[in-house]
Amino acid sequence: MLTHAVVITGKELIDAIRDVRPLVSSAFYCLMGPGIVFMVSMAMNGRGQDRAGGSVLIGMISVFILVSAFLGGMNVAMDALAGERERKSLLPLLMNGVAPRDVVLGKWLAVTCFSTAGLTINLTAFLFVLSRAHVPIRSAIAGSAPMLAAGLIPLALLAAAAELGISTACRSVKEAHTYLSMLVFLPMGTGMLLVFFPSVTHGWWRLVPIIGQQWQLEHWVRGDLSASQAAILGLVTAVLTGLILWGTASLLGRDDVVYGRY
């Protein structure tokens, strides 16, 4: 029932907002990328306008944006399910007539709010930095922002689903922290790989989540983003998100997840 999911989302939002330190920490991480790019562009003292220097800066920007989609909701995801298991509040939730599907949907919506907020903070800061730093960008980027959002917002949804899935499989917040920290290496590593080996993004690879968004980001900054690619990538990412959420709800039906290992 959708009402249950909405009630759970509301509670998770209140709960997360009251836990200020992790939120501030996530916000700092999301602002770290724009800060670094700004300082690097200043240090390059105009060489960012060169083709080589500009490519490096654009690569850095895209990696930081991808990572921010994963950072915003990480702490909330940790607490939302691994935290429930650790403090033994998951069983009471499932015994109160709430279907696992609604538990996952409600918590995912809450995590999504924070992952999207992280992404928004990061993008806003980058727009500010780009307006002041010496990076070779086209004036068309503002106009293509909706297309970019079509690709990036699904990435924030995917990040929230992946984080929640991992959190569900972990018995404690500490365990979830270990694995979710590793998850952040996925966009970071993929992004770095594509910066140094851009030829990988040929053909259907552009429709693979994270790789596709990286390609999209680089082309957004250069001002030649493709609407059809953005739409198909958004769809593929949304489908993958749905599959992860379905798998997470199935996990909540398992005895060892609800009660711990026997």
Partner 1 sequence: MIEVEQLRKEFRRVVAVRDVSFTAADGAITGLLGANGAGKTTTLRMIGGVLKPQAGQIRIDDLAPVEHPRAAQSKLGALLDHIGLYPRLTARENLTYFGRLRNILAVARLHERVEEVLSLLGLESMADTPASGFSQGERMKVALGRAIIHSPANLILDEPTNGLDVPTVRSPRSLLKSMRRHGTCIVFSSHVLEEVHTLSDHVVVIAKGSVVAQGTSQALCEKTNSATLEEAFVRLTTCEGAGGC
Interface residues with partner 1 (CB under 8 A) are: 3-4, 7-8, 11, 14-15, 18-19, 84, 87-99, 255, 258-259, 262
d(CA 87, CA 68) in angstroms, rounded, equals 28
Q: What is the 3-state secondary structure (H, E, C) of 16-29?
A: HHHCHHHHHHHHHH
Q: Judged by CB, which is closer to partner 1: 65, or 90?
A: 90
Q: Judged by CB, which is closer to partner 1: 86, or 218?
A: 86
Phi first, then psi: what are they for 210, rounded to 5°?
Answer: 75, -55
Smallest gap, in angstroms, from Cβ of residue 86 to partner 1? 8
Smallest gap, in angstroms, from Cβ of residue 18 to partner 1? 4
Smallest gap, in angstroms, from Cβ of residue 164 to partner 1? 17
Smallest gap, in angstroms, from Cβ of residue 13 to partner 1? 12
Q: Judged by CB, which is closer to partner 1: 90, or 176?
A: 90
Q: Judged by CB, which is closer to partner 1: 18, or 202?
A: 18
Are 190 and 34 spatial neighbours (Cβ–Cβ below 8 Å)? Answer: no
Q: Identity (one letter) of the amino acid at 99? A: A
d(CA 120, CA 131) in angstroms, rounded, equals 17
d(CA 204, CA 259) in angstroms, rounded, equals 42
Smallest gap, in angstroms, from Cβ of residue 19 to partner 1? 6
Are 257 and 172 spatial neighbours (Cβ–Cβ below 8 Å)? Answer: no
Q: Judged by CB, which is closer to partner 1: 8, or 159?
A: 8
Q: Judged by CB, which is closer to partner 1: 97, or 203?
A: 97
Q: Judged by CB, which is closer to partner 1: 20, or 52?
A: 20
